[in-house]
Chains A and B, each alone.
Chain A
């Protein structure tokens, strides 16, 4: 369908556009998200979490994506740019970053997921879409949104919610739906104590744009207007045209350090459930480093994935290594995630750690020693026996660090009593405590 543009010529109308919610901090990732939004956190060596939904969009034939940003969006902005890596640099459409902006009558932050869309209705109207796809920026999965749209059209739905079966004991963490065999939703429960279904919402919605628009305008004064809490229940009550689209592929929430670590580790399996090597569903990312990686004669590597430009001289097993990482000789890296640009000196032992980008670890450092102890600063976030090191941190030569610990900032030897950070302790030098 052809519509008129502001300058008077005609352009192609977009059948469906995507709105990608990427404003969240992701506080359960602790110091990893102290300076970046969760969607910009590295994943799988060379990627960032937002690469997965963005690549899904272009692979599903959606070429117009609005990315809603709010928390610490600098990294996201530089990463996405004008969308060249995803082929989203388009004459008409493409990727647009949508931070909150000041208006005549008010100047609000995005107070909730649906509120963020409400504040950008003008952007959506520009493309005059029939359907709007709402996506989160914090899940690892491959999904053909076009198939979901076909499902939506076939049922004449007002809104289609992508759902997947989860273990019953975990169902209370999600919004769950009760649907009949055709997918028609009878009941909708947000984080119920006693779930009556184990079909959990994945936070992926397709709306008929007129229906969504009406709901957003009606609910515009709702504080913290949220899709799961307000918009879906509103549409469900009003005309009951909500359908559940059951998805049975790989889908992983990486909201906690534990699940983030686990999802990374799953990529190492000989035949991983989530396959990055698929030719016709590539995951794209913005990556300046294209050079091959070098393994010296002292290196020993097994069960790992390693990204471009890294130089490995030590022993690395069961780990995810980002690009431009240097691992010195005599070092042992085990069951860890080392993100791009980090340097690990010689004769280090890194055991079950998440080392963020551009971290400098001196010679002879041992991470992950000693006995288990709960983290004193934030026991819920820093669990799973992991050592978490924030980006741009520095760890001086020779120190030892226990389990369930967090380190952020340029630490010095004097920060470690007796050269040791015991299990459960944290050093956060730069910025606010996370």
Chain B
């Protein structure tokens, strides 16, 4: 009970293309049965953080539906709980959240009314496991003003320049914080996880609001970097941000790798999610599955290879699904071929159709085709 948590889940990302048209990035489905925000929430819960606020703004319907009960992450307690904080009109202002810092500022009462000394700020669009207590311990030991968790990211795996890049000294102090630099000085990127003393956060937020500064990274981390003592905490385990189509595709495909699966699915502590009560997946004659993840409620009559099928996907006879991600509740008619695609949830793909990427070469970046049919379905 040393800390409260804030999960920043308001965001849209233009690099998610059509996928973020109907939901916030934090509500993106990940790894067959999770939503992106489950990772941050489970980390909070597993780190014994009992009071957590989720700040939402952009297309939060899907997220709200997912968070409609806090019991799945064990937040449904008398002490603490899960708070969904959306922008609201008050006597003082009627603004949307104008930035991450503004979002926190507009909910300062949440911070003021807590008694825990520390705040863990996290974002809802990353896939990772982390014990935030370790970060808090380091924060206390270093007497830091803000501790930023960073990850040494392989530049071949992801685009470094879309993150905050850190220059970290030997003793862990952050010498420089560049947000989305044109050219990165090194591969150490901010994971969007910060620890800060609650009273200090309140002070900073009040001050930057007076100065009409609304972004946590630009107006706090970058601006104060030389002046205050910011320390880095290195995260060694798996970490991935899903906020572009390429990284979303790659992160999902990482789960076809046994090490990643064992780390997230089989080893302690668990990642929790809302239980959807799907029946077991069913494989009819004609089904043939190779190197794929299949979720509950699926009915498979065709071939599936190197793909991830989310909940309640129906695959018709003689279909071929290859190198693709099929999101929840998709119906795929007979004889249809889907290759190198991400099929948006709730779609109906007609029989005898073919969905391939633009060039037919899956190795080239940006060649994942997003399939949105927009067919309306009615409940009979």
How distant is the Cα of A126 from the Cα of B261 in the complex, in angstroms?
49
Interface pair B294/A292, CB less than 8 Å apart: yes
Contact among B32, B277, B299 with A291 in the assembled complex (CB-CB below 8 Å): B32
Chain A residues, Cβ within 8 Å of B264? 291
> A277 — nearest CB in chain B belongs to which residue?
B279
Asked, given contacts A84-B71, A277-B299, A292-B308, whether A45 binds B283 with beta carbons under 8 Å apart, the answer is: no
Given B265, B272, B288, B295, which contacts A301 in the complex, CB threshold below 8 Å?
B288
Interface residue? A303 (CB, 8 A): yes
**Cβ-based interface call for A294 (8 A):** yes
Contacts of A120 in B (CB 8 A): none
Determine if A299 and B290 form an interchain contact, defined as CB atoms under 8 angstroms apart.
yes
- Contact check, A290 vs B288: say whether CB atoms are below 8 A apart: no
Q: Say whether chain A's binding surface is mostly helix, strand, loop, or mixed.
A: loop
C-alpha spacing A415/B297, complex, angstroms: 41
Chain A CB within 8 A of B31 CB: yes
Tell me whether B291 and A297 are in contact (CB under 8 A). yes
Q: CB distance B294 to A295 under 8 Å?
A: yes
Contact assessment for A302 and B33 in the assembled complex, using a CB-CB cutoff below 8 Å: no
Partner of B291, one of A290, A296, A308: A296
Q: A295-B290, A308-B296 are in contact. Are A270 and B33 (CB under 8 A)?
A: no
> Is A100 close to B, CB under 8 A?
no
Contact B296–A295 (Cβ < 8 Å): no
- Asked if A290 and B289 make an inter-chain contact with CB atoms under 8 angstroms apart, the answer reads no
Known: A291-B33, A295-B290, A309-B265. A85 touches B283 (CB 8 A): no
In A268-311, the 8 Å CB interface with B consists of 268, 270, 276-277, 279, 282-285, 287-288, 290-297, 299-309, 311
Inter-subunit contact B291/A305 (CB<8 Å)? no
Interface assignment of A46: CB less than 8 Å from any CB of chain B: yes
A317 to chain B, nearest CB (A): 9
Q: Which residues of B are found within 8 Å of A283, using beta-carbon distances?
A: 277, 279
Evaluate contact between B292 and A295: CB separation under 8 angstroms: yes
Is B293 part of the contact surface with A, judged by Cβ < 8 Å?
A: yes
Interface of B is mostly: loop
Looking at the assembled complex, report how far the CB atom of A432 sits from the nearest CB atom of chain B, in whole angstroms.
32
The answer to whether B33 and A292 touch across the interface, beta carbons within 8 angstroms, is yes
- For the complex, is A44 an interface residue (Cβ under 8 Å from B)? yes
From B275, B285, B293, give the contact of A270 (CB < 8 A). Answer: B285
Measured in the bound complex, the distance between the Cα atoms of B292 and A85 in whole Å is: 28
Roughly how many angstroms separate A375 CA and B289 CA in the complex, as a whole number? 38
Q: Report the separation of the CA atoms of residues A287 and B284 in the bound assembly, to the nearest whole angstrom.
A: 24
- Are B287 and A306 in touch, CB under 8 angstroms? no
CB nearest to B289 among chain A residues: A295
Q: Which of A270, A277, A297 contacts B297 (CB 8 A)?
A: A277
Min CB distance B176 to A, Å, is 40
B279: contacting residue among A276, A291, A297, A311, CB under 8 A = A276
What are the interface flags for A308-337 relative to B under an 8 Å C-beta threshold, 1 for contact and 0 otherwise? 110100000000110100000000000000
The CA of A2 and the CA of B155, in the complex, are separated in Å by 68
| Most chain A CB neighbours (cut-off 10 Å) among B270, B279, B291 | B279
Minimal Cβ-Cβ distance residue in B for A292:
B32
The answer to the question of B280 belonging to the interface, with a C-beta cut-off of 8 Å to chain A, is yes
With a cutoff of 8 Å between Cβ atoms, the chain A residues found around residue B282 in the complex are 268, 277, 304-305
B323 beta carbon closer than 8 Å to chain A: no
What B residues does A292 contact at CB under 8 A?
31-33, 293-296, 308-310
> A309 to chain B: which residues have CB within 8 Å?
265-266
Q: Are B281 and A303 in contact (CB under 8 A)?
A: no
- A293 close to B287 (CB less than 8 A): no
Q: Which residue of A lies closest to B256 (CB)?
A: A294
Q: How far is the CB of B86 from chain A (nearest CB, A)?
A: 27
Given the complex, which residues of B lie within 8 Å of A44, measured CB to CB?
Answer: 279-280
**Chain A residues within 8 Å of B275, by CB:** 85, 287, 290
Q: Do B280 and A303 have beta carbons less than 8 Å apart?
A: no
Q: Does B178 reach chain A (CB closer than 8 Å)?
A: no
Q: Are B33 and A290 neighbours in the complex by a CB distance under 8 Å? A: yes
Residues in B whose Cβ lies below 8 Å from that of A45:
279-280
**A282 engages B290 (CB within 8 Å):** no
Residues of chain A within 8 A (CB-CB) of B283 are 301-306
Q: How many angstroms between the C-alpha atoms of A52 and B277 in the bound complex?
A: 13
Bound Cα distance A305, B297 (Å): 10
Query: B234-263 interface mask toward A, CB cutoff 8 Å, 1 = contact, 0 = none?
Result: 000000000000000000000010000100
B117 within 8 A of A: no
Residue among A44, A84, A276, A302 having the largest count of chain B Cβ atoms under 10 Å? A302
Evaluate contact between B281 and A293: CB separation under 8 angstroms. yes
Q: B379 contacts which chain A residues (CB < 8 A)?
A: 279
- B289 touching A299 by the CB < 8 A rule? yes
Contact of A302 among B266, B270, B287, B310 (CB under 8 A): B287
Contacts of A284 in B (CB 8 A): 277
Inter-chain contacts of B226 with A (CB < 8 A) = none
Q: Which residues of A contact B272 (CB under 8 A)?
A: 290
Tell me which residues across on chain A come within 8 A of B276, comparing CB atoms: 290
Does chain A have a CB within 8 A of B360?
A: no
Complex contact B289–A46 (CB within 8 A): no
17 A-B pairs with CB atoms under 8 Å apart are: A270-B285, A277-B299, A283-B279, A290-B296, A292-B31, A292-B32, A292-B309, A292-B310, A295-B293, A299-B290, A301-B288, A302-B285, A303-B285, A306-B280, A307-B296, A308-B33, A308-B280
Apart from A285-B277, A297-B290, 9 more pairs, CB < 8 Å: A283-B277, A291-B261, A292-B33, A293-B281, A295-B294, A300-B288, A302-B283, A305-B283, A307-B296
